[in-house]
């Protein structure tokens, strides 16, 4: 049982490039979330999903897109990367009961 | 704007002491409350959850919730150097129409250092 996995661990992008951050969970959770964490700050919700085919914006969605075609996978797409998107990105999943969320190891992204 | 505020840090305590971490929240309809521990360069790890008023104990950790005062705290007894980390308070709000889809609002975190 791997829990929540994320790839890649690190990435450097040039301004204007695009990339997809991958996230997968094997706990059969309905709910999945993407957060970003800037240095010394808490976590900000980017997008979330309550099930396959259902996604919605969080607090800071601009510059990002998501899709959820299966229960297991929830990729985050960055289009036209900007320096403001330099951050650590965490994916999390949770059940619909107690709503405890479990986090992946994170992706550290630098945009230069 | 729903807010979660944690006591400003960093907090430094000697080994063996009690560390007290505090959190207040603005959404009076909030239902569930969580404490996460985050080591430097690592992801948040759930260490405590609390859903009703009062105390909940798990080993050296005690979470306390007072919904009337909109206050939640985490006590760490017999603090160890391995407890040195950032502690994040997270709150599940009431959401529009009473449905929040498990979304959490996080505080900014309190850095705890336990020195030998």
Specify the higher pLDDT residue, A95 or B63: B63
Residue A69, chain B, CB below 8 Å: the answer is no
Mean per-residue pLDDT, B52-67: 96
Maximum C-alpha span of chain B: 49
> Measured between alpha carbons, how far is B114 from B9 in angstroms, rounded to an integer?
13
The pLDDT of residue B98: 55
Interchain CB contact of A99 with B (< 8 Å): yes
Q: Any residues with CB less than 8 A from the CB of A8 and at least 6 apart, and which?
A: A21, A22, A107
Section A91-95 average pLDDT: 93
Q: What is the pLDDT of residues B2-49, one digit of tens each?
A: 689 998 789 999 999 999 999 999 999 888 999 999 999 999 999 999
Question: Given an 8 Å threshold on Cβ–Cβ distance, is B46 in contact with A101?
Answer: yes
Q: CB within 8 A of B30, min separation 6: which ones?
A: B67, B70, B91, B92, B93, B94
């Amino acid at each position: 049982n791997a829990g929540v996995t994320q790839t890649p661990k690190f990435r450097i992008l040039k301004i204007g490039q695009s990339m997809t951050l991958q996230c997968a969970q094997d706990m059969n959770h309905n709910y999945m979330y993407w957060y970003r964490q800037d240095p010394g700050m808490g976590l900000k919700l980017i997008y979330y999903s309550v099930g396959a085919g259902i996604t919605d914006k969080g607090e800071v969605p601009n510059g990002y897109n998501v899709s959820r075609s299966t229960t297991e996978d929830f990729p985050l797409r960055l289009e036209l990367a900007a320096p403001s998107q330099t951050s650590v990105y965490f994916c999390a999943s949770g059940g619909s009961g107690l709503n405890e969320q479990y986090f992946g190891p994170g992706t550290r992204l630098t945009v230069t | 704007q729903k807010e979660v505020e944690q006591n400003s840090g960093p907090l430094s305590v000697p080994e063996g002491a009690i560390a007290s971490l505090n959190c207040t929240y603005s959404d009076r309809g909030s239902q569930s409350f969580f404490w996460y521990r985050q080591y430097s360069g690592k992801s948040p790890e759930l260490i405590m959850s609390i859903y009703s008023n009062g105390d909940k104990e798990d080993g050296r950790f005690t979470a306390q919730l007072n919904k009337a005062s909109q206050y939640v705290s985490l006590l760490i007894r017999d603090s160890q150097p391995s407890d040195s980390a950032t502690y994040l308070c997270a709150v599940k709000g009431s959401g529009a129409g009473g449905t929040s889809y498990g979304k959490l609002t996080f505080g900014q975190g309190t850095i705890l250092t336990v020195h030998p």
